[in-house]
Amino acid sequence: MESKMNSQKSLLKIENLSVEFCSRQKKFTAVKNVNLEIFPGEFVALVGESGSGKTITSLSIIDLLPENAKITEGTITFTGKNKSIIFQEPMTSLNPLLKIGKQIEESALIKGISKQEAHNQAEKLAKMTGLEDTKKIFNCYPHELSGGMRQRVMIASALMTNPELLIADEPTTALDVSTQNKILSIIQNLKSEFNTALLLITHDFTVVKKLCSRIYIMYKGKIVETGKTEEILKNPQHPYTKALIDSIPDAKRRHEKLPVHFGEWQNE
């Protein structure tokens, strides 16, 4: 398995990437000598505490770094045609003045396909992400939809260009648990439907366990640990990774505690 992976050509290869912020003579390195590789169709997680550099790494990949940031070292090689990103809070990346239908279609029109084709494609993808009544929804503005629906719109828009790589930056943190699970299963289906590769940015190891075969752990701008999901879960090396894994809600342990609470409650 490992040797098969190694002989395959990577879809994305980040080598020795460093990103620096410059503000009034002050310099701050947000990403330090990062190496990261994703193979076609592979689901990979980038996990790290707040401020560790996950978003800045992903913005480097799609060429959308803020103006005061620059790549000071390293290379990013992408061998596919298209890559898309889904942001944490879709409200900030959807145009509030544009109806949903136009918004989804727009991302494909850039590619130069006809309006009708773009519309058909948008309808197909919207349905795939669980936006059933497309006639009605395509006529809505972003503020008229729920958070879960907006996230579905974001996924449908992202898929309009048939990206070989999808970056999802905390795609479900703003959503309630049941909507989270629905969005995650839509993302899970992308592998079998389109062979899309995924870079999933998250703090949530339960989600990583479900979706990703490999993990990169980021800490203070550096990749401090990487490996197959099951191996990292079994034998984490970095203290931050250990702490994260300890915080996974353990169904078995919760179950053991239950009779105690139940007993107390019954005695009242």
Ligand X SMILES: Nc1ncnc2c1ncn2[C@@H]1O[C@H](COP(=O)(O)OP(=O)(O)OP(=O)(O)O)[C@@H](O)[C@H]1O
Q: Should residue 18 be labelled a site residue for Mg ion when binding is judged by CB under 5 A?
A: no
Between β-strands 43-48 and 197-202, what pairing exists: parallel, antiparallel or unpaired?
parallel
Helix (H) / strand (E) element for 107: namely: helix 100-109
52 touches 218 (CB < 8 A): yes
Q: For ligand X, which residue of 18, 55, 103, 129 counts as binding (CB under 6 A)?
A: 55
What amino acid is encoded at 262 in this protein? Answer: F
Q: For Mg ion, which residue of 18, 52, 55, 241 counts as binding (CB under 5 A)?
A: 55
Beta bridge partners of 15: 75
Helix (H) / strand (E) element for 150: namely: helix 147-159
Residue 56 interacting partner from ligand X, Mg ion, none (CB closer than 5 to 8 Å by kind): ligand X
Among candidate residues 200, 209, 228, the one with its CA nearest the CA of residue 55: 200
Q: Show Cβ contacts of residue 196 under 8 Å, excluding neighbours closer than 6 positions.
A: 41, 159, 163, 164, 165, 166, 190
Give the binding range for ligand X (CB under 6 A) out of 53-61, 79-87, 154-162, 238-246: 53-61
Residue 66 interacting partner from ligand X, Mg ion, none (CB closer than 5 to 8 Å by kind): ligand X
Q: Should residue 199 be labelled a site residue for ligand X when binding is judged by CB under 6 A?
A: no
Q: For ligand X, which residue of 3, 7, 50, 178 counts as binding (CB under 6 A)?
A: 50
Q: For ligand X, which residue of 36, 42, 53, 156 counts as binding (CB under 6 A)?
A: 53
Give the binding range for ligand X (CB under 6 A) out of 44-52, 79-87, 97-105, 240-248: 44-52
Q: Should residue 84 be labelled a site residue for ligand X when binding is judged by CB under 6 A?
A: no
Give the binding range for ligand X (CB under 6 A) out of 46-54, 79-87, 240-248, 255-263: 46-54
Give the binding range for ligand X (CB under 6 A) out of 51-59, 158-166, 184-192, 204-212: 51-59
Backbone angles phi, psi at 60, to 5 degrees: -65, -40
Tokens representing 53 are 């550099």
Q: Should residue 247 be labelled a site residue for ligand X when binding is judged by CB under 6 A?
A: no
Nearest approach in angstroms of CB 55 to Mg ion is: 3
Burial class (CB within 10 angstroms; exposed 0-12, middle 13-18, buried 19+) of 43: buried
Q: What angle do CA 207, 169, 131 make, to 5 degrees?
A: 80
Residue 48 interacting partner from ligand X, Mg ion, none (CB closer than 5 to 8 Å by kind): ligand X
Nearest approach in angstroms of CB 167 to ligand X is: 12
- Residues of this chain that interact with ligand X (CB under 6 A) are 21, 30, 48, 50-56, 66, 68
- Residues of this chain that interact with Mg ion (CB under 5 A) are 55
